A and B are shown apart, each in its own frame.
Chain A
Amino acid sequence: MLNYSIIGVVEYEVKRLKYKKSFYFMLAIALLPFVTVAIVKYFNLEARGIFPVEESTHLWLYLYGTPRNIGSGTMLSATGIAAYMWLFASLFGGDSIASDIEDNGIQLILAKPLTRIEYLAGKTLSLLGVFTTVYFLGALSSLISAYIMVGPQAYVYLVVILPLVTAVSSIPITLLSAWIGGYTRSSLTGLLSGIGLYFLSSTIAGLVGFTGGDRFFERIFDYSLLDPIRASTQISTATVMYLTGLHKIVFPRIGGVHPTYDVNKLFIGSWLNLVVSSVVILFLMVKWFSRKSF
C-alpha cells in the first residue's frame, strides 16, 4: 500500500512545507508556552495569585489548548496550539493542492507512475505527519513549561496521544480547504474558505445555543455534533475530558442552576462525526480529483 511513489509525494510535500513561513509560525505557536513561563517568572505572577489555575496538576493541558473543564483556565487554553487547529488545517490544507497547481508541480507529479489517489494519500499522510510532529512539540513544551511553573503534572502519557488526536481531528477542515483551494486553483481561497467555514459554523452554533435559553451550552454541544467543522475542533478537548475521567461538565451559572453535560456523548459524537465526515469529504474529493484535467 505504502509504495515508493506515495513516499515520493510525502517527501515532496514535507520539503515544500519546510520552505513555508506558515510552518515556522506553527512552530512558534508550539513553543509559545515557554514564553508564558518567562512572563510568569519575570512578573512573579505566582506570588500575585494569578498562577496556578484551579487544577494546577493539569496546567499543561490548558497550555496545550485543551481545557479539562469549562470555566477553569479556558482563557489560558485559548493561547494553546490545539485551539488553533482549524487555522493550521486551513493554512496547510488550502495550500496543499492549490500550490502544486500554481507552480505547475502537479503536471510533473501526476505524469509520474502514481495514481491520483496515491497523490492525495501522500499529501494527507505528509500533512498528518507534520501536524503530529509540531503538535507533539507543542504538548512537550506545554508539559515542561507547566512543570517549571507549578511542579509535577498529571496525565503525562497524553503527551503522546494528544498530538495524534489533534492532527487526526484536523482532517475534515484540511480536506475541505484542500478541495476548495484545488478547485479554485488558489491557495488563498482555500485558506479563507477553511477559516470562513470555521467562523460560520461557530456563529451558527452560537445562534442555535441562544435558542436554548438556560441550556445554552448544551444546545451548542448538541448542535456541534452534527457539524463536521465544530465537532472536529472539540475532539481534542472531548478526548482529554474523557481520558482524564471527567464524565460530566458542570456549566457555571451565576445565581442559578448549574446544568451538566454528558462528556461521553460529546466524545463519542464528535469522533463519529469525524469518521463519517472525513469519509464523505474524501469520497467526494477523490471523485472530483480523479476526473480533473491539469
Chain B
Amino acid sequence: MSLVVKNLSKTYGSIVAVNNLSFSVDEGSIHGLVGPNGSGKTTTFKSIVGLTIPDSGEILLDNEPLLGRGGYRVRGKIGFSPETIELPLWLTVRDFLYLMARLDGLVKRDSEQLVENAIKEFRLGEFADTRISRLSKGQKKRVLIAQALIPEKRVYILDEPMTGLDPEWVVRIREILRSKANRGSSVIVSSHLLRELETVIDSVTIIKYGVALFTGKVDDLTSTIGGLGVKISVEVDNKEKALRVLLDSGLRRVEVKGDSIEAIVDSKEGVDRVVRKLVEAGVRVYRVNTVTATLEDGYMRLLRGK
C-alpha cells in the first residue's frame, strides 16, 4: 500500500466532516474518492496534505506518518491540486509555477527546468508570461493541475480536476494520470463526473456524511452494485406471472422496463435459482441478462440503499 488512511475523524464545531474514515491506495493505482457535496472529500484531502489537523486517526505514506511532527517532510512526496480555481492572480503563469517548485524545496536551476517541462507538457507556452488574472477558467485549472503533476511525486491528489476543463483536456489529464500510475505513483481523484471518473480509476471509496459506504475495486462495486446484489434483466412470455414469481421470491427493486423485467438478485449464484423458479412456474424465459452496473449505478444504489 502506498497511502493508508486509518480511522480518520474531523469535526468543525458540531459538524462531523469525517467520521472514522479508512481506505488505502495501492502503489501504481488511481483511486477515486466520491460522495455528495459536504460528504467530507475535501476535508479528507486537506487532512492528508496538512491543511487541516484531524481530531484523530492516522495517515501513512509508504509507512511513514503524515500527521504529527516530521509529517511535513513526508508531505514533500505529495503533489496537490485543490478544488478551487482561485489562484494568486497577480503572478504570471511562469512565476507561479517557479514559486511552487521553489516551495517544494528545489534549487533555482531545477525549478526553472521544471517550469519549462510544465509549460511544454501542459501547452502553456502562449500564456506563460501572462498574469493569471487574465486566464480563462479552464486555463487556470490547467495551471493548477500542472503545478501538482509536474514534479515527480509518490502520490498525486487532485480535488475535482476535470471541472472546468474542455473535453480535449479531460482526455489529456486522464492520459497523464494513467502514465503517472504506470510509473508507480499513486493518484487520488475526486469528481462528481462519475462516468468520466470511471474511465480512469482502478479503485474507489464512496463516502457520505464522512463515513465510507464502500471502499475497494471498481469491479467489485459494479458487479455487485455496491454490495447490494446483481442486476438482472429477463425477457419472458408472461410478464404478469413472472412479476409475481419474482416478487414472491423476495427479490428487490423488481420493475418492468419495456419488454423486460429488471430485478436485483443477492449474488451471481442467485441468478440460476431465479431462472429455475420462473421455469418451474411455467414461465417461458426467452433471455436473461446480467446488467453491468456503472460506477454511477453503484454510487446511486449505495447512497439510496444505505
Residue positions of A touching B, CB distance < 8 A: 3-5, 7-9, 11-12, 15-16, 19, 103-105, 107-115, 291, 293-294
Contact = CB atoms under 8 A, between A and B. Distances in A.
A112 B104 contact: yes
Contacts of A9: 103
B237 to A, nearest CB: 62
A198 to B, nearest CB: 27
Nearest to B70: A115
B267 to A, nearest CB: 43
A291 B102 CA distance: 25
List the 5 shortest-distance A-B pairs measured between CB atoms, nearest first. A113-B76, A104-B86, A8-B102, A8-B103, A111-B49
Contacts of B91: 15, 19
B52 A294 contact: yes
A113 B107 contact: no
Nearest to B69: A115
A113 B99 contact: no
Nearest to B52: A293
Contacts of A107: 46, 51, 82, 84
Kindly state the interface size class of chain B when it binds its partner.
20 to 34
Contacts of A16: 88, 90
A108 B100 contact: yes
Contacts, number: 85
A113 B72 contact: yes
Contacts of A111: 49-51, 75, 78, 80, 82
Interface of B: 12, 46, 49-53, 72-76, 78, 80, 82, 84, 86-91, 95, 99-100, 102-107, 147
Nearest to B111: A8
22 contacts: A4-B102, A5-B105, A8-B102, A8-B103, A12-B102, A15-B95, A19-B90, A103-B90, A104-B82, A104-B84, A104-B86, A107-B51, A108-B100, A110-B49, A110-B51, A111-B51, A111-B80, A111-B82, A112-B75, A112-B105, A114-B105, A293-B46
Given A15-B95, A113-B72, A103 B103 contact: no
A26 B100 CA distance: 28
A12 B51 CA distance: 19
Contacts of A108: 80, 82, 87, 100, 103, 147
Contacts of B51: 107, 110-111, 293-294
Nearest to B48: A111
Contact of A3 (B12, B86, B89, B105): B105
B99 A103 contact: no
Q: Which of B50, B78, B82 has the most CB of A within 10 A?
A: B50
A105 B86 CA distance: 8
A122 B29 CA distance: 36
Given A9-B103, A11-B99, A293 B53 contact: yes
A294 B83 CA distance: 13
Nearest to A104: B86
Contact of B87 (A3, A104, A291): A104
Nearest to A102: B86
Max chain B CB contacts within 10 Å: which of A4, A103, A105, A112? A112
